[in-house]
Amino acid sequence: MKAPAKSGTRIVTLTMNPALDITTDTDRVIPTDKMRCGLPRYDPGGGGINVARIAHVLGESVLAVFPAGGHAGDKVTDLVAASGVPVRRINVANSTRESFTVDERTTGKQYRFVLPGPRLTDVELTECLDTLSAAAGSADFVVASGSLPPGAPADFYQRVADICRERDAPLILDTSGAGLRHVSSGVYLLKPSVRELRECVGRELISESEQLAAAHELIDRGCAQFVVVSLGSEGALLATPLGSQRYSAVEVPSGSGVGAGDAMTAGITVGLKRGWQLDKAVRLGIAAGGAMLLTPGTAQCLREDVERLFEMVADPIDIDRARWLSARVKTSR
């Protein structure tokens, strides 16, 4: 289960709806009254940008492609560049969105406020695809991660998959909603959460067997060669054409979960870039996701934490094929 060999030089990430992430804290979050907050922390956000930063931390050569506009877009661009990740920015007329996270000190609860992104013109969307196409030519992997901006065609990520296929660059996709539902082919590895998988197939997916049956359904349709279903604190499931595996999460102190899914995607991609088998790459993804729980807000995790947790991730457990086959038969009736 290795990725196809290619003489590319880096990982290319695409973030169609980046954000300026602002994180702060306060004693209590209550209505009406003013809440005095601590000093804010600013981080560049958006799925692909988060993946790029973590992959860079893990020692890989990365290029981040994203549209950006306005003062928030300038700030995001500067922050990504300052983290050591090269940037290929597509200038857009409207301002990049901002996201706001507040940690409540008295309870440990976290409140996330996510604003909609800017509406991109057809010309701007086309420029994003053209820029990606040029960058993908020298890429070992392309990672498209995050939501689509308002007004983007629902099949935008299918267009991305078509470009990657033409450029012989394996695509790793982590998205949700219409952007996921309209992908029909060309994805090397798909990484949905259970919620995203549920929305994609239109079923509850209560049991592990039902979740795996849905993942294998996407493989059977030709949407993706492999599917990794992230389960948060429960670990992950890996579906392949030949079977399934279950991975346990590593135990770490509870902390901010912001960016943990993106870190998992980054870890898997880095493992594949190193030429590892897919099951080992997923273990690195779980370690990277766990390491994000040790960081404040959307701050990038530390390489030493990822490497330490990687040694703690147990080998996966093979799952009886009959179980998810049975669940798949039931859902097809």
> Given this model, what pLDDT does residue 5 score?
45
* 320 token code pair: 């009886």
What is the set of active-site residues?
Answer: 262
Q: Are the CB atoms for 38 and 25 separated by under 8 Å?
A: yes
* 134 token code pair: 């040029």
Q: Which residues pair with 228 in a beta bridge?
A: 238
Under the banding of pLDDT at 50, 70 and 90, the label for residue 256 is: low
Q: Are the CB atoms for 316 and 246 separated by under 8 Å?
A: yes
Compute φ and ψ for 172, nearest 5 degrees. -110, 125
Measured distance CA(156)–CA(143) in Å, rounded: 14
Under the banding of pLDDT at 50, 70 and 90, the label for residue 260 is: confident
**Of 69 and 6, the one with more pLDDT:** 69
**Cβ count within 10 A of residue 34:** 7
Average pLDDT across the chain, whole number: 91
Measured distance CA(250)–CA(310) in Å, rounded: 9
pTM tops 0.75: yes
Measured distance CA(243)–CA(262) in Å, rounded: 25
Closest listed residue to residue 264, CA positions, set 313, 201, 324: 313
| pLDDT above 60 (res 301) | yes
Compute φ and ψ for 5, nearest 5 degrees. -70, 145
Q: Tens digits of per-residue pLDDT, 2-16?
A: 555 444 468 999 999
| pLDDT above 50 (res 152) | yes
Q: What is the dihedral of CA 276, 240, 188, 20, to 10 degrees?
A: -80
Q: What is the dihedral of CA 197, 199, 201, 206, to 10 degrees?
A: 70
Q: Tens digits of per-residue pLDDT, 113-123?
A: 999 999 999 99
**Average pLDDT estimate for 211-222:** 95
**Average pLDDT estimate for 264-275:** 96
Measured CA to CA in angstroms, residue 19 lies from 127, 199, 294, 304 at distances of 19, 24, 22, 27
User: In sequence order, which residues have a C-beta less than 8 Å from that of residue 166 and are 6 or more positions away?
Assistant: 133
Across 147-161, 164-178, 179-193, 309-323, least confident range: 309-323
Compute φ and ψ for 146, nearest 5 degrees. 110, 180
**Average pLDDT estimate for 211-221:** 95
User: In sequence order, which residues have a C-beta less than 8 Å from that of residue 317 and are 6 or more positions away?
Assistant: 245, 246, 247
> Given this model, what pLDDT does residue 327 score?
67
> Given this model, what pLDDT does residue 206 score?
93
Under the banding of pLDDT at 50, 70 and 90, the label for residue 233 is: confident
Computed on alpha carbons and rounded to an integer, the radius of gyration of the chain in Å comes to 19
Measured distance CA(159)–CA(157) in Å, rounded: 5
Q: Tens digits of per-residue pLDDT, 191-209?
A: 999 999 999 999 999 999 9
